[in-house]
């Protein structure tokens, strides 16, 4: 589907670091108000793509645009960024850092108080030098600095790294609110359930190349379901023949685990209806399954 006026746009981005691959022909577009997930394992090229978007590295080929302009021409106050492998100025206190970065941004930090309250950063914490912060506190401060000036676009590179589960929940709730306010979010993650939970669309990057660019629900629909069937007896199990394209993953006593492509669901149900089944469980596919599916496809193709 073509989208008018993308806020974030990458076209044929290609970056090599000497002989080491960065990314190849990465093309994507993120529309205004969209929460866009960017998935891939470590070293797949997520951070390189973000660096190209932010003008930190120059691609050998292709171009990137934010708000329809090259990065060096945009009003950077409209942007909030949590860099990957976040590193802050350790000698500053938390309060000094937030003031300093707000001053550099050139916009009043209107959201700061609310964010500090949400992420449980009190005035005592902010008075301490950052070198005394825990990993989680640094990450929380990293999120606050990116959002404190209410930017229209957020580029977040693995923003929940180091956050405890409670703070992760708070962050996901915040993303939901940002969606409601029409903000655009580019969220890089290797946590598949995180993207599944928060994003509208997702791009999957593998070895520097995009292997999928889909809506989350489309991606799920294309994926394989795992079905666990418990037959009434061994005879029932032995009489069951899985339809073509359905893979028997595991047999354990009278329990059978199947991997069922979505188009084969009807055929499987028909086959099971003819047998005595005592239990049946359909697992909702996680994005991890989808992701592994893409990887398996790639591996099989090699």
Interface with other proteins by CB under 8 A: which residues? 17, 48, 51, 54-58, 72, 76-77, 79, 81, 83, 85-92, 100-101, 103-106, 145
Phi, psi dihedral angles at 59 (to 5 degrees): -70, 150
Query: CA-to-CA distance for 286 and 226, rounded, in angstroms?
Result: 10
Contact 203, 28 (CB under 8 A): yes
Q: Which CB atom, from 93 or from 223, has the smaller least distance to other proteins?
A: 93
Q: Minimal distance in Å, beta carbon 248 to other proteins?
A: 46
N- to C-terminal Cα distance for the chain? 30
Q: Minimal distance in Å, beta carbon 23 to other proteins?
A: 12
The contacts of residue 89 (CB under 8 Å, 6+ apart) are 97, 100, 130
Q: Minimal distance in Å, beta carbon 88 to other proteins?
A: 6
Q: Minimal distance in Å, beta carbon 104 to other proteins?
A: 4
3-state secondary structure of 38: strand
Closest-CA residue to 194 (of 164, 158, 219, 224) = 158
Q: Minimal distance in Å, beta carbon 166 to other proteins?
A: 26
In angstroms, what CA-CA distances link 296 with 207, 292, 299?
Answer: 13, 6, 5
Q: Which CB atom, from 126 or from 219, has the smaller least distance to other proteins?
A: 126
Q: Which CB atom, from 92 or from 267, has the smaller least distance to other proteins?
A: 92
Q: Which CB atom, from 48 or from 223, has the smaller least distance to other proteins?
A: 48
CA 70, 71, 72, 74 dihedral sign is: positive
Q: Minimal distance in Å, beta carbon 120 to other proteins?
A: 22
Indicate the Cα dihedral angle 21, 27, 31, 33, nearest 10°: -20
Phi-psi region of 84 (alpha: psi -120 to 50; beta: other; left: phi over 0): beta
Q: Which CB atom, from 77 or from 95, has the smaller least distance to other proteins?
A: 77
Contact 226, 281 (CB under 8 A): no
Q: Which CB atom, from 13 or from 88, has the smaller least distance to other proteins?
A: 88
Q: Which CB atom, from 45 or from 242, has the smaller least distance to other proteins?
A: 45
Q: In sequence order, what are the beta bridge partners of 280? A: 229
Q: Minimal distance in Å, beta carbon 85 to other proteins?
A: 6
Q: Which CB atom, from 72 or from 252, has the smaller least distance to other proteins?
A: 72
Query: CA-to-CA distance for 183 and 177, rounded, in angstroms?
Result: 9
Q: Minimal distance in Å, beta carbon 97 to other proteins?
A: 9
Residue 102 CA, distance from chain mean position:
27
């Amino acid at each position: 589907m073509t989208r008018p006026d993308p806020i974030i746009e990458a076209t044929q981005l290609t970056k090599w670091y000497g002989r080491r691959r960065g990314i190849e022909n990465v093309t994507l577009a993120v529309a205004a108000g969209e929460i866009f997930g960017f998935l891939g394992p470590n070293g797949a090229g997520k951070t390189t793509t973000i660096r190209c978007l932010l003008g930190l590295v120059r691609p050998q080929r292709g171009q990137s645009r934010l708000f329809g302009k090259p990065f060096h021409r945009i009003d950077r106050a409209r942007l909030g960024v949590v860099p990957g492998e976040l590193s802050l100025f350790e000698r500053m206190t938390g309060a000094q850092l937030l003031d300093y970065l707000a001053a550099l941004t050139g916009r009043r930090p209107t959201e700061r108080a609310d964010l500090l309250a949400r992420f449980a950063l009190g005035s005592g914490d902010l008075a301490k030098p950052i070198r005394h912060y825990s990993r989680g506190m640094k990450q929380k401060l990293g999120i606050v600095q990116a959002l404190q000036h209410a930017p229209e676009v957020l580029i977040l590179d693995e923003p929940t790294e180091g956050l405890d589960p409670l703070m992760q929940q708070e962050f996901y709730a915040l993303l939901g609110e940002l969606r409601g306010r029409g903000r655009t979010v580019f969220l890089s993650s290797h946590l598949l359930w995180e993207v599944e939970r928060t994003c509208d669309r997702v791009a999957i990057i593998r070895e520097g190349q995009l292997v999928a660019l889909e809506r989350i629900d489309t991606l799920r629909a294309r994926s394989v379901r795992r079905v666990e069937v418990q037959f009434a007896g061994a005879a029932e199990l032995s009489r069951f023949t899985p339809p073509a394209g359905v893979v028997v993953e595991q047999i354990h006593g009278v329990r059978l685990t199947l991997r069922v492509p979505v188009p084969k669901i009807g055929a499987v149900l028909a086959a099971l209806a003819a047998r005595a089944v005592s239990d049946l469980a359909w697992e909702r596919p996680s994005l991890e399954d989808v992701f592994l599916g893409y990887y398996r496809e790639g591996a099989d193709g090699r």
